[in-house]
Amino acid sequence: MNRALVIGGTAAAVATAGSVAYYLYRRGQAKELGPGTEPAPPLDSPAPNAPEPGPAPAPAPSPLPATTEAERVGVWDNVLPLPTAEDVSGDLESNWGSTPRTYRPLFQLMEEASGIEGSARIYSVIAYGESRYVPSAQNGDGDTARDKAERTYSNRAWSTMQGFGYNADNVPYGPEAANFGSGGLLGALAPYFLAIGAVTLGKAGAPLLKSRPQIIFLPRVAAFHGVVYLWRLHTQHDVRDIPDIKVGWGSPSLLSAKNRGSATYTKIREKFVGHAREVGIDLSKLPSKLNVDGFTGVTSVFEKIVGTLPTRAG
Amino acid sequence: MQSSDHLSCYDGELNALADLAGDFDAASPADTHRWIGAQWRSVANALGWSRPLERSFLALQAFAEGGVPAQHLTEKAALDAFEDWHIDRPIVSRGLTLAQRRELARVQTIVIDKLDTNGRGTLNRWRPYISSTSLPNKACVDLNAVGTVTPQGPGGIRAARVTVRAKPLMAAFASAPRSATYFRAFRSDTAPSYFADKSTPENVSECDYPVVLSLGTFPYVYGGVLGSYAPGLTWTTSTHSPARRGMTVAASFWQAEPNLSQDARVVVAQYRHFRATTDRVLAGVATPPAENHRPIVGEVHRRGGLLHVYQGALELARFQGPRGVLAASSYNYIKLRFAAFFAARRAYLRARASLSPAARSAIARNPDPCLRATPRLAVERA
């Protein structure tokens, strides 16, 4: 009997390395989360111009019927290959630890395209914590407690966004994103993911607003979101050091005066530092606090990292 | 027999395998140089030192002022770039002190030297298999005999750069068994693996063990350790650099005389075993038709004989088989090293009229029956 680990169970099935690692990662995540350790939901939206939140969301709907991996992840057109060493100029060798070599140029491109010096390796630690570098990682497509929690959060996010004028007309896949949960290389709630850039460019200019939420699985698109989110985090919230970035990554409200220093705030910081140690990235060699004054702009970052907006083919 | 028939003499699939490494006109020094440069780039890209290599090659090109650099200069430039890159990698302590690691590096280096020299006589430098008692220091380090060295002692600069970062996974590379006194310089790669079936050596003891190193596929020198970590890259570089030595042997097979000095039956047997055992592990990996296939993110598939991960990291694509973990990145790397060996063999035989006397002499003393079956070579030997 072939004891090789093959996803699909048949000789003709396509083995997806992402699925293998993603499955194991999700199991790990489910074990990691126990009572009292659920991540705090984001209390604001990427478009925080109006303070009032939306109405309380309905209970998280049941997951969609089981799909194939191709249906879950999607087939996309206009997808650039991952960047290589030739596409960046920065150091790809020192202080990267066990960051997969495949992704180092992508993280370095995020730094160079954005002008936010010192950010490249931070994205690696974030990716390690969020997805273990599996671009098709997702929380929300199953029936575990974590999946249900993530769908609750994404529903809440969509509900909040609706309070800011987002609807099925300007976000045609908003309802689908609401039932998606979170995912991607750097981890993001699907509705907020689609709305990235809208604060700066307006709803008409936000590049992902009319895309299906599975675009989150494309590494370059996830990278674009990550860069803009990092910038927004620094301009809109009190980010005092590198671990604060990870706190705000999941819930910017934890950076407020009221919540800073809470048990959840501290736990997230410690976990992030631990992840850096596990990856082998020495945070003391990075700037103690990032300077985002040199941010090159949302449109510029999109053009340099994504290029042409991918469209779903299947 | 045509040179392509030569490879078919061993196995019908070797021509297709050789094509993965590209072809070249071995009668042309410029084309030979181009092809060897491509092999260096293939190795460097896979292992992560492509930038140091390109800098080294640029400097060499400037020195050559537009001409074709001598082969030995190209090799030195590449090896210097590799060693400089390797020195800066995190150290794997394996619980040894700095002095002990340095001694280990010395023993590893002189053992590889001996395997290289021996191999020229036995016509097998690709994957030598020899008792440690025949090797310098019995391929062993007496830990108690090695004094400690302070960071400010001899070799202080490099000692100061050493950071001891032991990871649990690195325990897989610790030579076993290990007494309180002796430390084997290499693993004894005799368990069933992707390179060979189990061999049962006799009278194995602490420093009397089979040394089996797949130098042709360096740094993947052990058939049971084909995960994301390459064992040869965990060897300490200090005053001695066993990693550079291993890379030197591996790269030598791209040149005429060393390639033709190797009994290819050893390489063929290892490749066939590798192919059969990995095919079983990779049975579920699709080989989609190019025209219709639309890959999805993270999908592992075969294309052109190699594994690919769409928008994902090859090094994270790992398969568990009965002979151990097989990473997609190591699979591709090893397959391309086999490909390069046979591509070189094919090209040099095709250009036999232009071979150096040393290369012709190598053919003459090679007992490889497929080599001997080549008609024109037989006439030349007559």
Does B315 sit within 8 Å of A73, measured CB to CB? no
* Closest in B88, B165, B300 to A17, CB measured: B300
Does A17 sit within 8 Å of B48, measured CB to CB? no
Q: Is it the case that residue B160 has pLDDT exceeding 50? A: no
The dihedral region occupied by B65, where left means phi > 0, alpha psi between -120 and 50, and beta the remainder, is left
Distance, in Å, from the CA atom of B76 to the CA atom of B40, rounded to the nearest integer, reads 12
Q: What is the per-residue pLDDT across B216-262, written as a single tens digit (0 to 9) for each?
A: 999 999 999 999 889 999 999 889 999 999 999 999 999 999 999 99
Q: Please report, in angstroms and rounded to a whole number, the separation of the first and last CA atoms in chain A.
A: 34
Q: What is the mean pLDDT of residues A223-242?
A: 97
Distance, in Å, from the CA atom of A203 to the CA atom of A196, rounded to the nearest integer, reads 9
Q: Is it the case that residue A79 has pLDDT exceeding 50? A: yes
Q: Quote the pLDDT of residue A67.
A: 74
Q: What is the per-residue pLDDT across A182-198, written as a single tens digit (0 to 9) for each?
A: 999 999 999 999 999 99
**Chain A: nearest CA to B89, how far in angstroms?**
8
Work out the percent of chain B whose per-residue pLDDT is above 70: 86
Q: Quote the pLDDT of residue B5.
A: 78
User: b/e map of A35-56 (b: 16 or more CB within 10 Å)?
Assistant: eeeebbbbebbbbeeeeeebee
Diameter of chain B measured on Cα atoms: 64
Contacts B234 to A, Cβ<8 Å = none
Q: Which residue has the higher pLDDT, B360 or A31?
A: B360
**Would you call B50 an interface residue with chain A, using a CB distance cutoff of 8 Å?**
yes
Q: Is it the case that residue B110 has pLDDT exceeding 70? A: yes
* Closest in A10, A17, A85 to B309, CB measured: A17
Please name which of A68, A251, A65 lies closest in space to residue A157, comparing C-alpha atoms.
A251
HSE-up of residue B229 (Cα within 13 Å, Cβ side): 18
Query: Which residue has 């990075």 as its token pair?
Result: A286
Query: What is the rounded average pLDDT for all residues in chain B?
Result: 86
Please name which of B141, B127, B334 lies closest in space to residue B230, comparing C-alpha atoms.
B334
Give yes or no for a cis peptide into B219 (omega within 30° of 0): yes
Residue B76: band (very low, low, confident or very high) from pLDDT cuts 50, 70, 90: very high
Residue B173: band (very low, low, confident or very high) from pLDDT cuts 50, 70, 90: low
Evaluate the CA torsion angle A157, A159, A163, A168 in order and state its sign: positive
Q: Quote the pLDDT of residue A60.
A: 52
Q: Quote the pLDDT of residue B372.
A: 78
Q: Quote the pLDDT of residue A203.
A: 94
Of A5-14, B15-24, B60-69, B265-274, the poorest mean pLDDT is in A5-14
Domain map of chain B by residue range? 3-86+253-381, 90-242
Compute φ and ψ for B296, nearest 5 degrees: -115, 160
Residue A113: band (very low, low, confident or very high) from pLDDT cuts 50, 70, 90: very high
Distance, in Å, from the CA atom of B366 to the CA atom of B127, rounded to the nearest integer, reads 16
Q: Quote the pLDDT of residue B206.
A: 85
Does B320 sit within 8 Å of A103, measured CB to CB? no
- Read off the tokens for B382: 């007559």
Q: Quote the pLDDT of residue B39.
A: 98
Please name which of B244, B351, B267, B246 lies closest in space to residue B2, comparing C-alpha atoms.
B351
Q: Best mutation site among A26, A95, A101 for testing chain B: the one with the most B CBs within 10 Å? A: A101
Q: Quote the pLDDT of residue A121.
A: 98
Residue B181: band (very low, low, confident or very high) from pLDDT cuts 50, 70, 90: confident
CATH second-level architecture of A62-141+180-312?
A: Orthogonal Bundle (1.10)
Distance, in Å, from the CA atom of B39 to the CA atom of B249, rounded to the nearest integer, reads 14
Q: Which residue has the higher pLDDT, A173 or B163?
A: A173
Q: What is the mean pLDDT of residues B303-323?
A: 94
* Closest in A11, A102, A218 to B297, CB measured: A218
Evaluate the CA torsion angle A214, A216, A220, A221 in order and state its sign: positive
Q: Is it the case that residue A19 has pLDDT exceeding 70? A: no
Q: What is the mean pLDDT of residues B349-377?
A: 86
- Read off the tokens for B344: 């070189």
Compute φ and ψ for A141, nearest 5 degrees: -105, 10
Compute φ and ψ for A139, nearest 5 degrees: -115, 115
Q: What is the mean pLDDT of residues B75-99?
A: 90
Q: Is it the case that residue B292 has pLDDT exceeding 80? A: no
Compute φ and ψ for B129, nearest 5 degrees: -135, 110
Does A280 sit within 8 Å of B297, measured CB to CB? no
Query: What is the rounded average pLDDT for all residues in chain A?
Result: 83
What HEC string does chain A produce?
A: CCCCCCCCCCCCCCCEHHHHHHHHHHHHHHHHCCCCCCCCCCCCCCCCCCCCCCCCCCCCCCCCCCCCHHHHHCCEECCCCCCCHHHCCCCCCCCCCCCCCCCHHHHHHHHHHHCCCCCHHHHHHHHHHHHCCCCCCEECCCCCHHHHHHHHHHHHHHHHHHCCCCCCCCCCCHHHHHCCCEECCCCEEHHHHHCCCHHHHCCCCCCCCCCCHHHHHCHHHHHHHHHHHHHHHHHHCCCCCHHHHHHHHHCHHHHCCCCCCCHHHHHHHHHHHHHHHHHCCCHHHCCCCCCCCCCCCHHHHHHHHCCCCCEECC
Distance, in Å, from the CA atom of B77 to the CA atom of B81, rounded to the nearest integer, reads 6
Does A6 sit within 8 Å of B284, measured CB to CB? yes
For residue A138, the cross-strand partners are A183
Q: What is the mean pLDDT of residues A249-260?
A: 94
User: Would you mind telling me the total number of residues written for chain A in this entry?
Assistant: 314
Give yes or no for a cis peptide into A243 (omega within 30° of 0): no
Domain map of chain A by residue range? 62-141+180-312
Please name which of B232, B98, B85 lies closest in space to residue B153, comparing C-alpha atoms.
B98
Q: Is it the case that residue B381 has pLDDT exceeding 50? A: no
Does A102 sit within 8 Å of B312, measured CB to CB? yes
Work out the percent of chain A whose per-residue pLDDT is above 90: 75
Query: Which residue has 């950076």 as its token pair?
Result: A255
**Whether the Cβ atoms of residue A192 and residue A52 lie closer than 8 Å to each other:** no
**Whether the Cβ atoms of residue A252 and residue A157 lie closer than 8 Å to each other:** no
Distance, in Å, from the CA atom of A232 to the CA atom of B17, rounded to the nearest integer, reads 51
Q: Is it the case that residue A21 has pLDDT exceeding 70? A: no
Q: Quote the pLDDT of residue A13.
A: 33
**How many degrees, rounded to 5, is the angle at CA A66 between CA A65 and CA A72?**
105
pTM (global) more than 0.80:
yes
Q: Please report, in angstroms and rounded to a whole number, the separation of the first and last CA atoms in chain B.
A: 17
Q: Quote the pLDDT of residue B229.
A: 87
Q: What is the mean pLDDT of residues A216-235?
A: 98
Q: Is it the case that residue B295 has pLDDT exceeding 90? A: no
Distance, in Å, from the CA atom of A295 to the CA atom of B317, rounded to the nearest integer, reads 35
DSSP assignment letter at B46: H
Q: What is the per-residue pLDDT across A266-295, written as a single tens digit (0 to 9) for each?
A: 999 999 999 999 999 999 999 999 999 999
Does A134 sit within 8 Å of B312, measured CB to CB? yes
Please name which of B32, B16, B258, B359 lies closest in space to residue B377, comparing C-alpha atoms.
B359
Tell me the residues of chain B between 174 and 233 that have a Cβ less than 8 Å away from chain A: none
Q: Is it the case that residue B190 has pLDDT exceeding 80? A: yes
Q: Quote the pLDDT of residue B200.
A: 77
Residue type, B255: Q
**Whether the Cβ atoms of residue B324 and residue B194 lie closer than 8 Å to each other:** yes
Q: Is it the case that residue B46 has pLDDT exceeding 70? A: yes
What Å distances lie between residue B163 and A287, B102, B172, B240, CA to CA? Answer: 22, 14, 19, 18
Work out the percent of chain B whose per-residue pLDDT is above 90: 69
3-state secondary structure of B51: helix
Q: What is the mean pLDDT of residues B75-92?
A: 91
